[in-house]
Amino acid sequence: MAEAAPLSEPLPPAPAALAGDAGAPRAGLYGGTVAEAGFASLQGDYAATTLQRLLMEKKWHFVSLATPDFIFSIAIVDAGYLSSGFCAVFDRGARRLLIDDNPVLPPLCATVSEHPADGGSARLVGPGITARIERSGGRILVSARWRQAAVDLSLDARRAPPPITAIAPVGDKGRFDLTQKTVLIPAEGEVRAANVRFAVQSAFAGHDFTHGYLARETAWRWAFASGRAGSRLVAFNFSEGFLQGAGENAVWFEGEPRPAGKVSFTFDGDAPLSPWHIRSADGAVDLVFQPEGYRAQSIDLKLISSKYLQPFGVFSGKVNGVEIDRLAGICEDHAARW
């Protein structure tokens, strides 16, 4: 395995509170979590009315898990005037999507707290759906009965490396996003999809908490993975087209998150199983993502729309001089009008 190149400087610690003295979000890319992440103390351009919040505020919790046998992802989304989420289970051996459900529901069906740390939770209810992602005592508990799927997972965030927190503009004045990404979370439990049972032991999960006043037109490309690269524990979070400023791009080597700078994504959106290329301008990130399968959804209700592609697959290449060989993870290509 190639030796790692010199790492960039460590990330500054996350601020204690989202809002600064002038009431604006403290923009930046940080290590750790924001203890007071609520929006109530925002002022000036960021002091939204009740109607404005209903239209532009979005919150979600997302959990993903990759093992040699399957890849799992679940999300609970509070989009203000509607609720949504998804549950997907991809069988890597059979190259088959066992579960893929992405409902659009009335607003009261989802509740997502403003807190990314302990006490933060999300809940979704709907026809055949009862799902919860809850942080308690240093653990993230994922429990869902989602039509033909049953999920019971315990993620030990106390044994995970420090998360990153990105606070950044996302469009016009007053629009911004706060996101916290936690990686390499030891996971135990079980995922059942139809008649297939997957035991989860000695696996690693990732958690994404996002809360923002998002732009009417929002789009991103995203790549995420965490696991072992040879003898190393490695994780990365890369995105393009969403957050401005310092963004949210980071890599974790042996427990330390470091900034990765801007990256570019190249792929053929009309050929979902074709390779993706993810590169940074300085060459430190040079990855090929090979999809094994994917889930996709297009919704066009005129006033709101969503075109979404989430392939499941493996990353190979180099990150900061470390060789990555078939590290399982996910990518996303999403464009929304909401």
pLDDT digits (tens, 9 = 90+) for 271-291: 999 999 999 989 999 999 999
Please check whether residue 142 lies inside any domain of the structure. yes
Give the span between the Cα atoms of 255 and 79, in whole angstroms. Answer: 33
pLDDT digits (tens, 9 = 90+) for 216-270: 999 999 999 999 988 889 999 999 999 999 999 999 987 889 999 999 999 999 9
Question: Is the pLDDT reported for residue 7 higher than 70?
Answer: no
pLDDT digits (tens, 9 = 90+) for 126-167: 999 999 999 988 999 999 999 999 999 999 999 999 999 999
Looking at residue 157, what is its pLDDT? 96
Q: In this structure, which amino acid lies at residue 198?
A: F
Please check whether residue 173 lies inside any domain of the structure. yes
Looking at residue 248, what is its pLDDT? 97
Distances (CA, A) of 43 to 19, 85, 125: 8, 30, 33
Please check whether residue 3 lies inside any domain of the structure. no
Please check whether residue 23 lies inside any domain of the structure. no
Give the span between the Cα atoms of 75 and 39, in whole angstroms. Answer: 22
Which CATH number goes with the domain that contains 131? 2.40.370.10
DSSP 172: S
Please check whether residue 14 lies inside any domain of the structure. no
Please check whether residue 179 lies inside any domain of the structure. yes
pLDDT digits (tens, 9 = 90+) for 183-219: 999 999 999 998 999 999 999 999 999 999 999 999 9
Please check whether residue 4 lies inside any domain of the structure. no
Number of domains in the chain: 1
Q: Spell out the alpha helix ranges (H) of the chain.
A: 50-56
Question: Is the pLDDT reported for residue 2 higher than 50?
Answer: no
pLDDT digits (tens, 9 = 90+) for 89-115: 999 999 999 999 999 999 999 999 998
Looking at residue 255, what is its pLDDT? 83
pLDDT digits (tens, 9 = 90+) for 10-41: 999 999 999 999 999 999 999 999 999 999 99
Please check whether residue 5 lies inside any domain of the structure. no
Looking at residue 142, what is its pLDDT? 98
Looking at residue 140, what is its pLDDT? 97
Give the span between the Cα atoms of 239 and 210, in whole angstroms. Answer: 14
Give the span between the Cα atoms of 288 and 335, in whole angstroms. Answer: 22
Question: Is the pLDDT reported for residue 303 higher than 90?
Answer: no
Domain limits for position 105: 28-337
Residue indicated by tokens 């919704």: 299
Q: Which residue has the higher pLDDT, 234 or 8?
A: 234
With 0-12 / 13-18 / 19 or more C-beta atoms within 10 angstroms meaning exposed / middle / buried, residue 106 is exposed
Give the span between the Cα atoms of 157 and 185, in whole angstroms. Answer: 6
- Tally the C-alpha atoms within 13 A of residue 217's C-alpha that lie toward its C-beta: 2
